[in-house]
Amino acid sequence: METFRQHLDKFITINDEEFALILSFFQMLEIKKKQDLMVDGEVCKSMFFVLKGCLRKFFINEKGIEQTTEFAIENWWITDTFAYEHQIKSDFCIQAVERSTILTIDLQMQEELLKKHPVMERYFRMIYQRAYAASERRIRYLYEMSREELYLHFSTQYPWFIQRIPQYLIASFLGFTPEYLSEIRAKLRS
């Protein structure tokens, strides 16, 4: 749990006693590689914080192809925010890319946490602001950059993803086919 404590300390100030109380609102889970945490059509009941490992959010498009929209590695949150906030069925799936250890919280527990520990309001506000800003940038990059530029930017900004995430998932995240990503990589090597 030291990982979560260090993460919280970047945003808020709490003592050991308060951390223990905050932690009691979460459940820790061990997740196997390719294990589903949420599937399309299921009510989104939880948010997930990655202590160790990697998760991804994706949907299945009209051609039956998985389209990855988001990854979450250590110290990142992931959920279908709209479905979670409204407690409705999600259009997304969340799955473990690798064996993972996560914290999970449901909306009722989160609301109780925020009432009892108002400092967590600030924490979640800051997390949402960062996530929203990252989403805005990604949308801009999708409009402005060529596919090759998009891959170069991604591999430069997030080199650990290139080493860690299977290429077919990186291709899915960038909106490419795996074959097209292979062509880009081959072109860049020559």
Q: Examine the domain organization and report whether 112 and 164 are in the same domain.
A: no
Residue range 6-57, pLDDT digits in tens: 999 999 999 999 999 999 999 999 999 999 999 999 999 999 999 999 999 9
pLDDT tier, 163 (very low <50, low <70, confident <90, very high otherwise)? confident
Q: Examine the domain organization and report whether 153 and 59 are in the same domain.
A: no
Q: What tokens does 65 get?
A: 């192809």
Q: How many domains does the chain have?
A: 2
Among the candidates 143, 161, 179, a domain finishes at 143
Residue 113 pLDDT: 98
In angstroms, the CA 172 to CA 58 distance is 9
Q: Examine the domain organization and report whether 83 and 11 are in the same domain.
A: yes
pLDDT tier, 185 (very low <50, low <70, confident <90, very high otherwise)? confident
pLDDT over 90 at 91, yes or no? yes
In angstroms, the CA 48 to CA 38 distance is 11
In angstroms, the CA 29 to CA 94 distance is 14
Q: How does the average pLDDT of the chain come out, rounded?
A: 94
Looking at 89-177, list the stretches that DSSP marks H as alpha helix, in order from N- to C-terminal side. 107-116, 119-144, 147-157, 159-164, 167-174
**DSSP β-ladder status, 66-72 and 77-78:** unpaired
Q: Are the C-beta atoms of 134 and 87 separated by less than 8 Å? A: no
Q: What tokens does 100 get?
A: 């993972």
Among the candidates 124, 143, 162, a domain finishes at 143
Q: Are the C-beta atoms of 46 and 105 separated by less than 8 Å? A: yes
In angstroms, the CA 37 to CA 80 distance is 11
pLDDT over 90 at 188, yes or no? no
Q: State the pTM of this model.
A: 0.92
- 45 lies in which domain range? 2-143
Element (H, E) at 188: helix 178-189
Percent of the chain residues topping a pLDDT of 70: 100
